């Protein structure tokens, strides 16, 4: 093919709202995801992995057609077989689907699962808001007891603290869909919003009948002002929901998890029932009102006691959360080891002279096979160049091989922090270098 037939070269930048994760940033992301999965595993949450795309109706029926996410942000496409598929914007509905598909709800309960992976939403990109972003999260399904709510929330707040972000936990109960509390309350709320209709921003006025609770999520100044005297769901909970909420709060106090009650917290997805919570940035200067925007939320979650049934399955109460890794990394800032490459490379094999190159590769391979992180030059660098590359690699040790060393079955081991050197027999290296 001629050059002119190839057309213009492709744009090498990743699509809008996405990024290429490369070292050292990619190290931070993978470490944080591992820390999350280990924390979750420590409480009995096993890993779950579902497809990146699902049948669109899983989100339409699970997350809810009136939610922003489903209504405006999904990457939906028709495949060659004419099926409507959607890149997952969140993982709660897919996880519940997977549990029902495998009939795990008939086995030992609760089913406790944890995940880490990319989600996709076509939002207007800005700092902390992307079209492909990374979540870690857990879901506990099968128990309606308040103890699960407390367990889940405590795990989220402990992980965020160990990730180095300062958060405030906002807590609310939005009642149960089937009980009189939510239905009765919605009537009151719609009446109030009707009275205030002239003061609401147009986008919120439209929601009054389609999704009145969501008006609390509004970022519009006019709407916020109009909501000043609005009735709160927490004042209208039925006895069961009120009791549940009270127990959750008492248990959180037992566990030493601090929270702020936020009666305007409604969350953006339609499946929520009862407990709803969000971990927001406590480090920023934003006031309480500004907090309710979603950008400063490191994560959130809640109960979804009706979700399994809306997917056509058996009744299966559940609760979980998802946390945005991208936002946590912004909030945590750079850690002490972020300046170096940060990889798990412990030693760098330096070859002096062309004859040492082959034994150097063999030595690096043997050390790797014994479980050590080892790097070496693959560019034919000078010794000086190799020493520089060793420093860049983040290795603690340089293992130097020259003619003299090879002849005696030894290497010169240099501590790259102190500069101290010693001769070490090759067979002793692995033991000495083990971190
Ligand atoms: P969510 O509030 O939609 O909940 O998302 C959780 C977190 O994911 C957000 O607080 C934020 O940190 C992050 N996130 C969401 N959208 C973006 C974006 N465009 N760019 C960067 N980060 C983003 C859920 O997804 C529910 N599935 C949580 C849940 C689990 N509820 C029950 N179980």
Count how many residues are written for the chain.
435
Q: Which residues, in sequence order, are CB contacts of 289 under 8 Å at separation 6+?
A: 224
Tokens of 328: 């946590």
For residue 128, what are the CA distances in angstroms to 25, 33, 296, 334?
15, 17, 8, 16
> Ligand 1 pocket, 327 CB below 6 A?
yes
> Ligand 1 pocket, 321 CB below 6 A?
yes
Going by pLDDT thresholds of 50, 70 and 90, the confidence category of residue 334 is: low
Has residue 343 got a pLDDT over 90?
Answer: no
Minimum mean pLDDT range among 34-48, 165-179, 349-363? 165-179
> Ligand 1 pocket, 129 CB below 6 A?
yes
Q: What is the pLDDT of residues 110-120, one digit of tens each?
A: 999 999 999 99
How would you classify residue 360: left for phi > 0, otherwise alpha for psi between -120 and 50, otherwise beta? Answer: alpha
* pLDDT for res 337: 47
Average pLDDT, the chain: 92
Q: How many Å lie between the centroid of ligand 1 and the Cα of residue 46?
A: 20
Cis peptide before 24 (omega within 30 of 0): yes
| 280 close to 170: Cβ distance less than 8 angstroms | yes
Nearest-atom index, ligand 1, CA of 328: 12
pTM: 0.92
Tokens of 429: 């290296």
Distance CA 379, CA 124 (A): 43
Q: Which residues, in sequence order, are CB contacts of 173 under 8 Å at separation 6+?
A: 233, 234, 237, 241, 242, 244, 245, 248, 274, 275, 276
* pLDDT for res 211: 87
Q: Ligand 1 pocket test: which of 33, 63, 133 has the largest number of ligand atoms within 8 Å of its C-beta? A: 133
Q: Which residues, in sequence order, are CB contacts of 144 under 8 Å at separation 6+?
A: 305, 317
Q: What is the mean pLDDT of residues 215-233?
A: 91
Q: How many Å lie between the centroid of ligand 1 and the Cα of residue 102?
A: 25
Tokens of 61: 């029926």
Quickly count: other Cβ atoms within 10 Å of residue 423's Cβ: 12
Instruction: Tell me the fold of 347-433.
Output: Rossmann fold (3.40.50)
Q: How many Å lie between the centroid of ligand 1 and the Cα of residue 92?
A: 10
Residue nearest to atom 25 of ligand 1 (CA): 90
Q: What is the DSSP annotation of 36-62?
A: HHHHHHTTT-EE----SEEEHHHHIII
Q: Ligand 1 pocket test: which of 64, 90, 278 has the largest number of ligand atoms within 8 Å of its C-beta? A: 90
Has residue 419 got a pLDDT over 90?
Answer: yes
Has residue 43 got a pLDDT over 60?
Answer: yes
β-strands 46-47, 111-120 pairing: parallel
Residue nearest to atom 13 of ligand 1 (CA): 324
Sheet holding 132-141, edge to edge: 46-47, 111-120, 132-141, 318-324, 297-303, 273-281, 167-173, 260-261
Q: What is the mean pLDDT of residues 17-39?
A: 94
Q: Ligand 1 pocket test: which of 21, 266, 322, 326 has the largest number of ligand atoms within 8 Å of its C-beta? A: 322
Q: What is the pLDDT of residues 127-165, one digit of tens each?
A: 999 999 999 999 999 999 999 999 999 999 999 999 999
Q: Which of 170, 161, 168 is nearest to 39 (CA)?
A: 161
> Ligand 1 pocket, 167 CB below 6 A?
no
Q: How many Å lie between the centroid of ligand 1 and the Cα of residue 89?
A: 9
Q: How many Å lie between the centroid of ligand 1 and the Cα of residue 338?
A: 26
Q: Which residue has the tokens 């009939």?
A: 103
Nearest-atom index, ligand 1, CA of 128: 21
Q: Ligand 1 pocket test: which of 151, 271, 299 has the largest number of ligand atoms within 8 Å of its C-beta? A: 299
Dihedral Cα 245, 247, 249, 255, nearest 10 deg: -150
Q: How many Å lie between the centroid of ligand 1 and the Cα of residue 224?
A: 23
Nearest-atom index, ligand 1, CA of 320: 33
Q: How many Å lie between the centroid of ligand 1 and the Cα of residue 66?
A: 17
Q: Which residues, in sequence order, are CB contacts of 237 under 8 Å at separation 6+?
A: 173, 175, 181, 245
Q: Which three-class secondary structure state does DSSP give residue 185?
A: helix
Q: What is the pLDDT of residues 252-273, one digit of tens each?
A: 999 999 999 999 999 989 999 9
Minimum mean pLDDT range among 16-20, 100-104, 194-198, 284-288? 284-288
* pLDDT for res 75: 98
Q: How many Å lie between the centroid of ligand 1 and the Cα of residue 321?
A: 8
H or E element in which residue 424 lies: strand 421-425
Q: Could you tell me where in the chain the CATH 3.30.930.10 domains are found? A: 25-179+238-332
Has residue 422 got a pLDDT over 80?
Answer: yes
Nearest-atom index, ligand 1, CA of 327: 12
* pLDDT for res 338: 47
Distance CA 45, CA 266 (A): 26
Q: Which of 91, 62, 93 is nearest to 270 (CA)?
A: 62
- Superfamily for domain range 25-179+238-332: Bira Bifunctional Protein; Domain 2 (3.30.930.10)
């Amino acid at each position: 093919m001629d050059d002119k037939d190839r057309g213009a070269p492709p744009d090498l930048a990743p699509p809008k709202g996405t990024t290429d994760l490369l070292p050292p940033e990619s190290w931070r992301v993978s470490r944080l995801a591992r820390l999350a999965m280990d924390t979750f595993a420590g409480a009995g949450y096993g890993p779950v992995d579902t497809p990146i795309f699902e049948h669109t109706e899983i989100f339409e029926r699970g997350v809810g057609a009136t939610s922003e996410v489903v209504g405006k942000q999904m990457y939906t496409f028709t495949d060659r077989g004419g099926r409507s598929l959607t890149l997952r914007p969140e993982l709660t509905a897919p996880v519940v689907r997977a549990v029902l598909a495998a009939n795990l709800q008939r086995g030992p309960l609760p089913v406790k699962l944890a995940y880490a992976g990319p989600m996709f939403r076509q939002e207007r990109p800005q700092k902390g808001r992307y079209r492909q972003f990374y979540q870690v999260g857990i879901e506990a399904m099968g128990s309606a007891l308040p103890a699960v709510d407390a367990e889940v929330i405590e795990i989220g707040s402990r992980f965020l603290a160990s990730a180095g972000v300062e958060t405030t936990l906002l807590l609310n109960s939005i009642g149960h869909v089937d009980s009189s509390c939510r239905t009765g309350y919605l009537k009151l709320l719609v009446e109030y919003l009707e009275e205030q209709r002239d003061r609401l921003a147009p986008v919120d006025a439209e929601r009054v009948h389609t999704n009145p609770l969501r008006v609390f999520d509004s970022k519009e100044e006019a709407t916020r002002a109009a909501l000043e005297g609005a009735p709160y769901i927490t004042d209208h909970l039925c006895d069961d929901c009120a009791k549940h909420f009270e127990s959750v709060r008492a248990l959180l106090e037992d566990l030493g998890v601090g929270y702020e009650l936020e009666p305007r917290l409604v969350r953006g997805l339609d499946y929520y029932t009862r407990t709803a919570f969000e971990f927001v940035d406590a480090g920023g200067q934003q006031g309480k009102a500004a907090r309710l925007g979603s950008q400063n939320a490191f994560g959130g979650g809640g109960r979804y006691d009706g979700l399994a049934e809306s997917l056509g399955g058996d009744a299966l109460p559940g609760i979980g959360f998802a946390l945005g890794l991208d936002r946590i990394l912004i909030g945590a800032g750079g850690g002490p080891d972020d300046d170096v490459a940060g990889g798990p490379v412990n030693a760098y094999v330096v070859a002096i002279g062309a004859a040492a190159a082959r034994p150097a590769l063999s030595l690096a391979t043997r050390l790797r096979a014994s479980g050590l992180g080892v790097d070496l030059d693959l560019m034919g660098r000078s010794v000086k160049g190799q020493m520089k590359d060793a420093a860049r690699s983040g290795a603690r040790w340089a293992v130097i091989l020259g003619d003299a060393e090879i002849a005696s079955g030894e290497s010169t081991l240099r501590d790259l922090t102190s500069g101290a050197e010693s001769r070490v027999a090759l067979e002793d290296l692995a033991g000495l270098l083990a971190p």
